[in-house]
Structure 1
Amino acid sequence: MRCQTCGATTSSAHHECQRCHTPLGQPAVTPGLPTYSVRGIGLAARIAVGATAVLYLLVALSPLLGMAIARRAQTDTDPDLLLGAVVIELLVALPMVVAYLTAAVLVIIWTWRARKNTDAFPGALPTLGAGWAIAGWLVPFANFVVPARVVANVARDSLWRRVTPPLVAVWWSSWLVFSVGERLASRLDGRAADALPENPATAGDYQAYADYYRDSLLRNAVPAVACVLAAVTFYLLIQRISAAQEARIAHAQPAWPTASGWPAAPPVGPEALPVGPEAPPVGPEAPHRA
């Protein structure tokens, strides 16, 4: 007897498939329960996550340009150049915020769909309801734990694991480092910016701006690395989970025909015409129908 989910040979000594954990005799997807496509939304989420990481990396590296502008302003004794550094930071930060919000919406939709699909997978063992796939990202304090638990459940049930894949732990730990580190770096940058001279005139004033951008670059180094690591690991998780779920859902959908004894498809073309005395005339002798 073969498992209807993965095709592995099963044994009556076990109540479930030892490869994919589907109970013996159960289909790949429970009939009557809805499933949702995660291919398109997963691709969109991966693109948005990748774009957010790239743009945040540019934001984290923008102090390099600020340092160069501060030194040029010191050389030319032109404080107006420092305003250019602020404008550049804003121009880089705004697209990053848009990409971040877009990624957040797409990731929440993908997480909910992937979690709902596991309800239709016999043998799945979800520990949290599908509603937590949305609320887990939005509820304060819960968003430090719940999203990781939801994705861990989905990864186990989709990738045929009883133990959470290590990629989930790497993704969530790096995400927490990024989230906390980015907020801390922003606060420190704000305090340091408030201490800068409003109207720089001396070499020391301009040097204070150069030092500010240098320190900002160092403060954002850890969040930037964590952001890239979180984006790469989550990209892989979305890709693997989406592919596994789409394959399982497609495997459960019967092709035509699905069972022996069903009538074959009717012939088409010249072969479809009857042969013999009862065959209708073809050609000029064929009766004309008004």
Structure 2
Amino acid sequence: MSVDSVSVPPTGRTGVRSLRGLGAAVIALLGLVIAADVFSVVVGVRMYALWGAGPVGFEVYDRWESLYRWSDVATMNTFVACGVVFILWFRRARINAEAFAPDEHGLVRGWAVWGWIVPVVNLWIPRRVALDIWSASTPGAHLGPAPRQSSGLVNAWWTLWVVSTVPTALATWIHAKAEGPAETRQAIALTMLSVLLDIAAAVLAVLVVRRLTAMQHRKALEATPVP
């Protein structure tokens, strides 16, 4: 049964729409993010070694530095593309969740988008919205409030996502004041740590997207009137 446009009369709210198309796009883009991050780690490890290896031929260093710059471009572009589609998926999930359980949300719908954009509050608002969506999307016999499922997966994903920003900030600060190879290597090492944490967060994000998309699909089928 398709749930591309399943109305939910008991709520009087916007009809439920399938997350599966957007979910598949997000997962594909998360795969690209992971691939770009892996490439960044490989190149970063080599750059870290070159900065501690003593004199290095200009051509060798220039080649790896060029790859290092390209890895930055790749990670940034895939991150932005994935972020845009992820927010579209997240917003649609929030709209669906409001149709399932309109009284289960502590924040208005707009925070599903602005929560990612507004500085400082973006460290916790998206998690709060995600937990409400998770709870409202729990499959059950009827529409309305549902028992809150374990939020361990959401919390693990969000924790890794937030923690990954710390070494990035430190690396930027150290690189800006670097005066020699030791500081440069330290900045590269912190950047690689951030990228590894980002890979782990992206893997968990794939699991969150898959799980929540499946939950809303089952919930929508339960909500569809039987002819």
Say yes or no: TM over 0.5. yes
What is the aligned-residue RMSD (CA, Å)?
2.7
- Indicate yes or no: 2:66 matched with 1:66: no
Which of these residues, 88, 92, 97, is aligned with residue 109 of structure 1?
88
Q: How does 1:1-290 map to 2 (within 5 A)?
A: 30=11, 33-67=14-48, 69=50, 74=55, 78-122=57-101, 125-159=104-138, 160-162=146-148, 165-192=151-178, 195-196=179-180, 208=181, 211=182, 214-254=185-225, 258=227
Residue 60 of structure 1: CA displacement? 3.4
Question: Runs of 5+ in structure 2 lacking a partner?
Answer: 1-7, 139-145
Query: Whole-Å Cα distance in 1 between the matches of residues 63 and 18 of structure 2?
Result: 46
**Which has the larger share of helix?**
2
Which has more radius of gyration?
1
Answer yes or no: is the 8 Å Cα contact 1:151–1:168 preserved in 2.
yes
AA matched with 1:245? Q
Residues 1:32 and 1:59: Cα distance change in structure 2 (over 3 Å): closer
Question: What is the aligned length?
Answer: 213
Q: After TM superposition, where is structure 1 displaced by more than 6 Å over at least 4 residues in a row?
A: none
Query: Whole-Å Cα distance in 1 between the matches of residues 175 and 152 of structure 2?
Result: 34
Determine which structure has greater relative contact order: mean sequence separation of CA pairs < 8 Å that are 6+ residues apart, divided by chain length: 2
Answer yes or no: is the 8 Å Cα contact 1:118–1:124 preserved in 2.
no
1:177-230 CA distance string (max 9 Å, x none): 1122212223323432xx24xxxxxxxxxxx4xx56643443234323321221
**TM-score if structure 1 supplies the norm length?**
0.65
Query: Whole-Å Cα distance in 2 between the matches of residues 185 and 57 of structure 1?
Result: 18
Residues 1:67 and 1:222: Cα distance change in structure 2 (over 3 Å): closer
Residues 1:30 and 1:148: Cα distance change in structure 2 (over 3 Å): same
Moved more, 229-238 or 219-228: 219-228
Query: Whole-Å Cα distance in 2 between the matches of residues 140 and 110 of structure 1?
Result: 21
